[in-house]
Amino acid sequence: MDQTPPARRVIRLFPDYGRDWPLWENSTPTWNVGYTTTPEMYGLSEELTRDLAEWNALWDADFDPFDGWKSDVSRERWRRDGIDIVARLRAEVAEVADVKYEPWPLDNRDERPTAPTDPPVHITRYDGPHGEWRARAERGGRSQPG
């Protein structure tokens, strides 16, 4: 494989079970990044790397896929910290990548900061340990599969 990165990379930010880092990037025909990524791959600052680790650890310790958050305090802290982290991540990788924030444990689109190009979505269900959250894009009052 050539290993030529795309002109503009897209880093996805979301937690997943069994992963140390909530960072992901899709490979392309000329760029095999391996899907799961690390702060080192992007040259992130020590401060952001530390905060990413703490944010991911909070989710891992305080969110259950069946019962939800252990407390409203944990959920609010994770939500607030995520907004700060995504802003800092976008700033640190601005020259080479866009960041798509996917905080599925919140399950409420009104609490998620979105880029102007992100369509509004409603999270509907999770499909397996390595699956995607099924989303419904809401356009013109109709729901369409996402």
Q: Please report the DSSP string for the chain in residue order.
A: ---PPPSSEEEEE---TT-S--EEE--BTTB---EE--HHHHT--HHHHHHHHHHHHHHHHHEETTTEES-HHHHHHHHHHHHHHHHHHHHHTTTTEEEEE--GGG--GGGS---TTSPPEEEEEE-STTS-EEEEEEETTEEEE-
- What is the pLDDT at residue 80? 95
pLDDT in tens, the chain (146 residues): 566 666 778 999 999 988 999 999 877 666 666 778 899 989 999 999 999 999 999 999 999 989 999 999 999 999 999 999 999 999 999 998 899 999 888 865 434 444 444 444 434 444 444 444 444 333 333 333 44
